[in-house]
């Protein structure tokens, strides 16, 4: 029985997940320890600000104070992502594996916040001001964090990988009539 090398193909992707997690936690700690709750620091005029906000819900503040629900769902999702990540790595699906690693790092980052504090530290805020056919528009996007960003980028890469995979399924970039392909 041979031993596995210390650095495996999986290590890179778990390392990526760890980097996402550590950056997320470091930025949340920096905001929580240096900026009072609800304080706002402009970075790019009125367009981008660092705003200390706490969210006890999910994206866009939905499902507030459902801590147990989020913790259970995150454990289930993270388990599925780890299983799928292993499968993607074994099949050489690098983009999919990187996407899943980002998703995993972000999910674990927000999980730790919910588990320890019952809420997530958010701090990235964007405000869009422009005119639309002569009507002024002033929209502030909900405040979010690096974990949320990693999750969104991960999901985007999963969708891109899926689209590219469909094009690779058959010659000419068309899906086969019976729907078979190289899906993970």
Residue 167 has pLDDT above 90, yes or no: no
Alpha helix locations (H) across the chain? 9-34, 67-90, 94-117, 146-168
Provide the percentage of residues in the chain whose pLDDT is more than 90.
Answer: 61
pLDDT of residue 3: 53
pLDDT in tens, 70-96: 788 889 989 999 999 999 999 999 999
Mean pLDDT of 144-173: 87
Residue 73, pLDDT score: 82
Which has more confidence, 31 or 181?
Answer: 31
The residues annotated as belonging to the active site are 122, 148
Q: What is the rounded CA–CA span in Å between residue 151 and residue 157?
A: 10
Asked if residue 183 has pLDDT above 60, the reply is no
């Amino acid at each position: 029985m041979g031993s596995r090398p210390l650095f495996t193909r999986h290590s890179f992707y778990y390392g990526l997940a760890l980097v996402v997690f550590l950056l997320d936690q470091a930025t949340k700690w920096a905001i929580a320890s240096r900026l009072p709750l609800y304080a706002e620091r402009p970075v790019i005029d009125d367009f981008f600000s660092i705003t200390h906000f706490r969210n006890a819900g999910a994206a866009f503040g939905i499902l507030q104070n459902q801590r147990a629900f989020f913790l259970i769902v995150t454990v289930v999702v993270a388990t599925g992502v780890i299983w799928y990540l292993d499968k993607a790595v074994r099949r050489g699906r690098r983009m999919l594996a990187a996407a899943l690693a980002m998703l995993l790092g972000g999910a674990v980052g927000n999980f730790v916040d919910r588990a320890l504090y019952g809420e997530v530290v958010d701090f990235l805020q964007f405000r869009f001001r422009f005119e639309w056919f002569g009507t002024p528009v002033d929209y502030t996007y909900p405040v979010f964090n690096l974990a949320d960003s990693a999750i969104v980028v991960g999901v985007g890469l999963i969708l891109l990988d899926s689209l590219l995979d469909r094009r690779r399924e058959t010659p000419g970039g068309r899906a086969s009539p019976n729907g078979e392909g190289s899906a993970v």
